[in-house]
């Protein structure tokens, strides 16, 4: 009798264990639904990257401090000559740049706001940011401003021109583009607020590869793109190189100069620590690509807190229910391509061994993205809690 009972129990245990078996692929392909308190769920995959060890994480500021950080800069229709603040959009490659640039252009033309996009300037030198033309250390050529909106006429000017801190102070209220954090440190304005967007590191990397292929008009397919990424990632990992795209934008010109003065520069962990500290010290306003509506609410609060041009922000993806805004306006969508970021990621996930390596490759960049998301959540909670 005891043997029969033992056999039945053993059979039950075996059956349950079999039912709970999961394939190795499912452990990396599932979408993680854990959210920060107050965060809306998103369709964007949150891949579980390997843990980062021995990195000092700066303490986040309080909700009260977040309230001070997101104080409005100006009203749309106030005289532009009275503005003594500047908003600087640090556009990290493949993180909502086209959307935000178009939004700023429409806002600037409607609100008589000086606005300029600066290109070829990711590696702005410290000395040139202080005086004279801005120069990029990458090629020792001047940075170029384009797509300028003049505050006095609300005209859209596409003529390429150079830029310097003195002229920028007189002509512009918003500067954006591939420029580093700290680019405006020597622009003589009373208050300078930096704003940037963050995106999942695996998506950012894949999207960047697709952009480069399109830009150079290369013939590429889903399979060839996945193969190219596998090759590039494997080669970097064999050299001990990790993906850290945020470092191109979130280290200041001063920090980059000190970095170059070292024989080997800062190691990846030191860069991660410095970038996170910069996000706190510079009081950077954080937008998150998969929280576009909430991110645009923060931006809207900064430069249109009196709701004079809310319809512009709604058109670009801000969903707020107000009777005085035009909710029927169509939202702007990015142009679709045959080979998409999501399709490439699905293709890459078929190779379980590589995809684990890929997550290891981007783990430091993703660590910064995750930290920035926490800052974003604090800022958004402050916006909701205090009802400005």
pLDDT tens per residue, range 104-114: 999 999 998 99
Please say whether the beta carbons of 122 and 143 come within 8 A: no
Structural domain contains residue 9: no
pTM: 0.82
Structural domain contains residue 21: no
Structural domain contains residue 51: no
More confident residue, 340 or 215: 340
Structural domain contains residue 263: yes
**Euclidean distance between CA atoms 299 and 318, whole angstroms:** 10
Structural domain contains residue 284: yes
**Euclidean distance between CA atoms 282 and 194, whole angstroms:** 7
Q: Which residue has the tokens 């169509």?
A: 330
Give me the domain span that covers residue 356.
63-386
**Euclidean distance between CA atoms 51 and 339, whole angstroms:** 31
The pLDDT value given to residue 66: 96
Structural domain contains residue 20: no
Q: Is the dihedral of CA 131, 97, 314, 300 positive or negative?
A: negative
CA angle 207, 211, 212 (to 5 degrees): 120
**Euclidean distance between CA atoms 306 and 322, whole angstroms:** 13
**Euclidean distance between CA atoms 38 and 44, whole angstroms:** 17
Structural domain contains residue 49: no
Number of domains the chain is built from: 1
Q: The CATH number of the domain where 139 resides is what?
A: 3.40.50
Structural domain contains residue 233: yes
Residues 268/270/272/274 CA torsion (nearest 10 deg): -150
With CA atoms as reference, report the closest residue to 159 among 140, 170, 145. Answer: 145
Q: Report how far Cα 28 is from the mean position of its chain's Cα atoms.
A: 23
127-174 per-position pLDDT tens digit: 999 988 999 988 899 999 988 998 876 677 788 889 999 999 989 999
Percent of the chain with pLDDT over 70: 80
């Amino acid at each position: 009798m005891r043997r029969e009972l033992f056999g039945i129990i053993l059979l039950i245990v075996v059956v349950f264990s079999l039912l709970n078996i999961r394939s190795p692929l499912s452990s990396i392909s599932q979408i993680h639904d854990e959210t920060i308190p107050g965060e809306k769920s998103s369709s964007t995959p949150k891949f579980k990257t390997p843990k980062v060890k021995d990195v000092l994480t700066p303490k986040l500021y309080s909700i009260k401090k977040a309230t001070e950080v997101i104080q409005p800069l100006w009203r749309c229709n106030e005289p532009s000559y009275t503005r003594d603040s500047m908003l600087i959009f640090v556009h990290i490659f493949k993180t909502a740049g086209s959307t935000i640039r178009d939004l700023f252009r429409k806002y600037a033309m409607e609100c008589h706001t000086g606005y300029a996009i600066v290109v070829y300037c990711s590696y702005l030198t410290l000395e040139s940011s202080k005086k004279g033309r801005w120069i990029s250390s990458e090629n020792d050529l001047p940075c170029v401003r384009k797509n300028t909106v003049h505050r006095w006429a609300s005209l859209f000017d596409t003529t390429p021109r150079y830029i310097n801190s003195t002229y920028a102070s007189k002509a512009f209220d918003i500067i954006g583009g591939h420029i580093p954090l700290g680019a405006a440190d020597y622009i003589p304005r009373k208050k300078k607020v930096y704003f940037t967007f963050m995106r999942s590191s695996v998506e950012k990397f894949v999207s960047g590869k697709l952009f480069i292929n399109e830009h150079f008009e290369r013939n590429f397919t889903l399979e060839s793109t996945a193969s190219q990424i596998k090759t590039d990632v494997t080669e970097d990992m064999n050299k001990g190189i990790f993906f850290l795209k945020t470092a191109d934008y979130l280290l200041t010109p001063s920090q980059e100069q000190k970095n170059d003065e070292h024989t080997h520069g800062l190691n990846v962990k030191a860069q991660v620590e410095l970038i996170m500290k910069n996000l706190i010290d510079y009081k950077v306003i954080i937008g998150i690509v998969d929280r576009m509506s909430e991110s645009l609410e923060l931006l809207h609060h900064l430069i249109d807190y009196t709701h004079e041009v809310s319809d512009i922000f709604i058109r670009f993806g801000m969903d707020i229910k107000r009777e005085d805004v035009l909710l029927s306006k169509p939202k702007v969508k990015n142009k679709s391509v045959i080979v998409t970021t999501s399709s490439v990621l699905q293709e890459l996930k078929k190779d379980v061994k590589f995809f684990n390596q890929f997550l290891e490759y981007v783990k430091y960049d993703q660590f910064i993205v995750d930290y920035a998301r926490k800052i974003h959540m604090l800022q958004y909670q402050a916006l909701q809690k205090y009802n400005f």
